[in-house]
Structures are given as C-alpha cells and as structure tokens.
Amino acid sequence: MAMGDIAFNLLIFFVILARATDDSHLEWKPASTKNLQQASASKVSVLIDVDNKVYLNGQPIGIAQLAGRIEESLGNAAAGNRTVLLKAHREVPALNFQPVIEAISEAGGDLIHILDEQKD
C-alpha cells in the first residue's frame, strides 16, 4: 500500500516539474545566422515573445525579479553547468533584450542565444 502511494507522489512530482519548463505555447521566431553550434542542456530558459513579454521556464516574470529567480534556479551548479538559454523573437529591439542579458550575467549564468540556421 505504501509503495503505491510513493509511486503516485513521484508521478505527480515529475509531471509538475516537466510542465514548469514548457514554453512551447509561447509565440516567438528566432533570429537566423550561418554556422551555428549545438546548444548544451540547460536548467533555465528565458524567452522574450512577439509582444516583448519575458518568461522564465515558460512562466511570466518581470525584469526586476529575473536575476534572482535565475540564480535560484541554477543553485550552486558548478561553472560550465550554469547554462541559460535565451530565446528572443527576431524583432525584439535591443532595448528589451539587453536587460535580460544583464540579468543572466548578474545571476552567474552562461548565456546561449537560440537562433535558426540561415537558409541560402
């Protein structure tokens, strides 16, 4: 009986965690460039959508709270394991994404900007 309860609780735990980092419902189109490298795995994803709204792991967040929440999500991960994916809509002006880059840097994250491969 207790084993069934434990399994059920673990199942709920993993479902909640899996949903917390889902940003597939957000609308954005990445900028494109040539000669891209493959991104490594990350714990944190920051997205700036078509409406210039900022999301941390799929949840809306204000710029003022961003650095603290990124630092909290990264925890005490070692250097090289502090990857933060930045997904910015291609038409987002620098005025909107520069504070996000600053917040990632302030939190000690290793920034990886997600782009599309440019087609000829």
pLDDT in tens, the chain (120 residues): 677 778 877 877 776 666 555 566 666 666 666 665 666 677 888 999 989 999 999 899 999 999 999 999 888 888 778 888 888 888 888 888 899 999 999 999 988 777 665 565
Per DSSP, what are the bridge partners of residue 30? 89
* Nearest-10 crossing angle of helices 94-106, 63-74: 40
**How far is Cα 63 from Cα 69, in angstroms, rounded to an integer?**
10
Check residue 2 and report its DSSP letter.
H
Instruction: Give the structural domain span for 48.
Output: 2-117
> Domain count of the chain?
1
Tell me which residue has tokens 């597939």.
24
Q: 48, 28 in Cβ contact below 8 A? A: yes
Tell me which residue has tokens 């630092």.
71
